[in-house]
């Protein structure tokens, strides 16, 4: 078993069918890889979707159902059942292309014991996919981003073999593992042909409350990450350097947050937010992040 394709899912039954179809539709021989899926207590019809897709799996397909425990614990449950020499991580809103597994394995053959970072291309729809060609418009500086990344199991075991389960809220559990891998001197390479499409539809006004909630949770886990790894790379990644904090709190100094909230709410009946609405939502999310970052740091 050369590679395990590992993913976790929570309340995304509407995407999971397409994602699993793509995981099963790979160009490598089916005995080369397996898919390990963890259902992290989804309250929707995720189990029914999984059973409907099970007959399509030509490769090994392991499914674990657990009570909702968060992504770190779900990842670890999947790792415990994984048999591949290399573990590739994706999310349940990520659609791998047919050469995804082949390209991660090609990079393994070419570079050896490295982290392989694949290309992630954002898309508003799985039904109308862009051309699978990575461009700098989709650049990410993340060293270890579980939307599309792989690492040899032996290297992962040297870094502790698990995600840190103290990260129970949204954000940074993959970066924390990446810091441990970096401390081992693990080299990372980028394969622009190992493409996966990330489902990123334009948000609507009803989505803004969820976005703000995620921003606040991500701020709390950012503080948690900094305390575990007090390093300049972490501070830069989470936006906790003096220039970043100054820019991030600029909205609060202007006093325009309330008008922005009204502007976003005004688009509630119009479907997806327009360009200005998305900018306003982004500004509000940034303010929510830095407000919570300051509060979480003060709590100590």
Give the residue from 199, 217, 242 where a domain finishes: 199
Beta strands at 115-123 and 94-96: parallel, antiparallel or unpaired: unpaired
Q: Are residues 211 and 66 in the same domain?
A: no
Q: Are residues 24 and 50 in the same domain?
A: yes
Would you state the pLDDT for residue 77? 97
Chain-centre distance of CA 162, in angstroms?
16
The three-state (H, E, C) secondary structure of the chain, written as one string: CCEEEEEEECCCHHHHHHHHHHHHCCCCCHHHEEEEEEEECCCCCHHHHHHHHHHHCCCEEEEEEECCCCHHHHHHHHHHCCCCCEEEECCCCEEECCCHHHHHHHHHHHHCCCEEEEEEEEECCCCCCCCCCCCHHHCCCCCCCCCCEEEEHHHHHHCCCCCCCCCCCCCCHHHHHHHHHHHCCCCEEEEEEEEEEEECCCCEHHHHHHHHHHHHHHHHHHHHHHHHCCCHHHHHHCCCCHHHHHHHCHHHHHCCHHHHHHHHHCCHHHCECCHHHHHHHHHHHHHHHHHHHHHHHHHC
Q: Are residues 158 and 11 in the same domain?
A: yes
Would you state the pLDDT for residue 203? 84
Q: Are residues 149 and 9 in the same domain?
A: yes
Q: Are residues 76 and 145 in the same domain?
A: yes
Q: Are residues 26 and 169 in the same domain?
A: yes
Which residues form the domain of 248? 205-299
Number of domains in the chain: 2
Q: Are residues 97 and 241 in the same domain?
A: no
Domain CATH code at residue 66: 3.90.550.10
Q: Are residues 249 and 271 in the same domain?
A: yes
Q: Are residues 83 and 161 in the same domain?
A: yes
Residue 215 and residue 275: Cα distance in Å, rounded? 20
What does each of the 300 residues of the chain score in pLDDT, given as a tens digit?
999 999 999 999 999 999 999 999 999 999 999 999 999 999 999 999 999 999 999 999 999 999 999 999 999 999 999 999 999 999 999 999 999 999 999 999 999 999 999 999 999 999 999 999 988 888 888 899 999 999 999 999 999 999 999 999 998 999 999 999 999 999 999 999 999 999 999 888 778 888 999 999 999 999 999 999 999 999 999 999 999 988 888 877 776 666 666 666 665 555 777 787 788 888 888 989 999 999 998 986
Would you state the pLDDT for residue 279? 82
Give the residue from 183, 199, 215 where a domain finishes: 199
Q: How far is CA 297 from CA 65, 211, 225, 240, 249, in A?
A: 35, 21, 11, 11, 15
Q: Are residues 217 and 273 in the same domain?
A: yes
Give the residue from 179, 199, 219 where a domain finishes: 199
Q: Are residues 217 and 188 in the same domain?
A: no
Q: Are residues 289 and 266 in the same domain?
A: yes
Would you state the pLDDT for residue 240? 93
């Amino acid at each position: 078993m050369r590679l395990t394709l590992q993913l976790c899912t929570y309340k995304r039954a509407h995407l999971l069918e397409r994602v699993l179809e793509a995981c099963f539709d790979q160009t490598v021989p089916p005995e080369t890889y397996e898919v390990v899926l963890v259902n992290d207590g989804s309250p929707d019809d995720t189990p029914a979707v999984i059973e409907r897709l099970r007959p399509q799996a030509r490769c090994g397909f392991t499914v674990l159902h657990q009570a909702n425990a968060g992504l770190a614990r779900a990842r670890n449950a999947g790792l415990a059942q994984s048999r591949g020499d290399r573990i590739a991580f994706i999310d349940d809103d990520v659609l791998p292309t047919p050469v995804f597994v082949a390209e991660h394995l090609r990079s393994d053959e070419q570079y050896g014991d490295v982290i392989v970072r694949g290309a992630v291309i954002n898309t508003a729809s799985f039904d109308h996919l862009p051309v699978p060609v990575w461009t700098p418009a989709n650049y990410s500086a993340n060293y270890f981003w579980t939307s599309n990344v792989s690492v040899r199991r032996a290297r992962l075991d040297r870094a502790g073999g698990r995600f840190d389960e103290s990260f129970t809220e949204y954000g940074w559990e993959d970066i924390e593992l990446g810091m441990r891998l970096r401390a081992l001197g693990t080299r990372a390479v980028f394969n622009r042909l190992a493409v996966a499409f990330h489902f990123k539809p334009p948000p609507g006004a009803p989505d803004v409350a969820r976005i703000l909630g995620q921003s606040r949770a991500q701020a709390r886990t950012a503080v948690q990450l900094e305390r575990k790894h007090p390093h300049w790379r972490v501070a830069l990644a989470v936006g906790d350097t003096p220039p970043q904090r100054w820019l991030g709190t600029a909205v609060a100094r202007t006093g325009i947050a309330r008008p922005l909230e009204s502007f976003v709410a005004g688009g509630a009946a119009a479907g997806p937010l327009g360009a200005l609405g998305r900018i306003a939502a982004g500004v509000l999310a940034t303010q929510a992040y830095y407000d919570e970052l300051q509060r979480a740091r003060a709590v100590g």
